[in-house]
Amino acid sequence: MEKHADTLRNHGIKPSLTRMLILSYLTEEGSHPTVEEIYKALIGTIPTLSKTTVYNTLHLFTQKKLARAVMLKDQETRYDLAAHPHAHFQCLECNTVYDTSAFPQLSAPEEFLKHTVEDVSILFTGLCQSCREKSSHIEQ
Amino acid sequence: MEKHADTLRNHGIKPSLTRMLILSYLTEEGSHPTVEEIYKALIGTIPTLSKTTVYNTLHLFTQKKLARAVMLKDQETRYDLAAHPHAHFQCLECNTVYDTSAFPQLSAPEEFLKHTVEDVSILFTGLCQSCREKSSHIEQ
DNA sequence: TTATAGTATTGTAATCAATTCAATTTTAAA
DNA sequence: TTTAAAATTGAATTGATTACAATACTATAA
Ligand SMILES: [Mn+2]
Ligand SMILES: [Mn+2]
Ligand SMILES: [Zn+2]
Ligand SMILES: [Zn+2]
């Protein structure tokens, strides 16, 4: 838990209990959680927790480059820690999101060199292995 | 106009006037328009146009691979023709979206080979040239 | 300790893009 | 023309997000 307090301080965020628990959830529990998921996961531990606080905290984390909003084919915003940049694959059938361990090698387009590129998001979409096997089992 | 009718037919879409005008707008007018923008642009020409029809049409175009929903840091979904796949750069200051002429060379992550990848989205974000020049002019 | 100011958290109301759905209109085939 | 299917409409609703004012908490100075 002190580890999370340090992480917060390192990003210029004062470590409150709520903030530590949200960081803890992002670090150890669910992957790419929504505000709703985080709220439901923590309301047992922090009975006074407000959904607005979860929104506020994630905005703060994002601003301080501790977390980032993942770009996915979803209506609800999903969040990820910013520490290890990586690409995503999202299955359009079951909506599962898979991570890459490393960031894919990407040659920057010359046309964008005149701009100041701060970040890159890469999302692969398609049918995941599990869904493909299921559907090939159904269609004889 | 007959060109757009052909394009629609080639994608298995029956060419109605509304659909041709929406395709025309995507092709010739604004870049990465929202539903709202398309609606406002066409309501003069089709006074009975419903926003629901614009939503329906864009969903149909997307399903038939004629258009695609562009993934951007925006609350409103923006649309693009699917014909020429390309990456985007979005300025976080002025929100302008720039296109690449070609799709950046991207080595597919091995971890995703077991899935069936159907599409890839690439978004660069940062500060565009114009905004950078403006801000460097202000700060002496 | 107490007062005070700044920060964090809360809860309600409002916003707004997107969807639902039943009614209506249009189109094309019989 | 009749009829069925497809396309379009518009009102109501959903649901994520934001705005905002009230309350609670924290830290520091008197
Ligand atoms: Mn991830
Ligand atoms: Mn584009
Ligand atoms: Zn799947
Ligand atoms: Zn800009």
Total domains in chain B come to: 2
Shortest distance, CA A87 to any CA of chain B (angstroms) = 9
What percent of chain B has a predicted confidence (pLDDT) above 70? 97
Q: Is B109 exposed, middle or buried (0-12, 13-18, 19+ CB in 10 A)?
A: buried
> Do residue B71 and residue B23 come from a single domain?
yes
> What SS3 string covers B117-136?
EEEEEEEEEEECHHHHHHHH
> Do residue A44 and residue A5 come from a single domain?
yes
Residue B42: give the domain boundaries: 1-82
Q: Which residue has the tokens 């292995």?
A: A129
Domain boundary among B36, B58, B82: B82
Average pLDDT for B44-63: 98
> Do residue A77 and residue A124 come from a single domain?
no
Number of residues that this document lists for chain A: 140
Domain boundary among B82, B104, B126: B82
> Do residue A77 and residue A95 come from a single domain?
no
> Do residue A29 and residue A62 come from a single domain?
yes
What percent of chain B has a predicted confidence (pLDDT) above 90? 75
Window 53-92 of chain A: CB closer than 7 A to strand D: 55, 59, 75-77
Whether the predicted pLDDT of A138 surpasses 80: no
Return left, alpha or beta for B63; rule: phi > 0 is left, psi -120 to 50 is alpha, else beta. alpha
Give the predicted TM-score (pTM) of the model: 0.91
Q: Which residue has the tokens 């964008």?
A: A112
A-B contacts (CB, under 8 Å): 116
For B20, B24, B39, B57, B63, the CA distances from B53, given in Å and listed in that order, are 13, 15, 9, 6, 15
pLDDT tens digits for range B49-58:
999 999 999 9
Give A85 Cα–ligand 2 centroid separation in angstroms. Answer: 24
**Can you tell me the distance from the alpha carbon of B79 to that of B97, in angstroms, rounded to the nearest whole number?**
12
**Can you tell me the distance from the alpha carbon of A101 to that of A87, in angstroms, rounded to the nearest whole number?**
8
Instruction: Indicate the pLDDT class of residue B139, thresholds 50, 70 and 90.
Output: low
Instruction: Indicate the pLDDT class of residue B74, thresholds 50, 70 and 90.
Output: confident
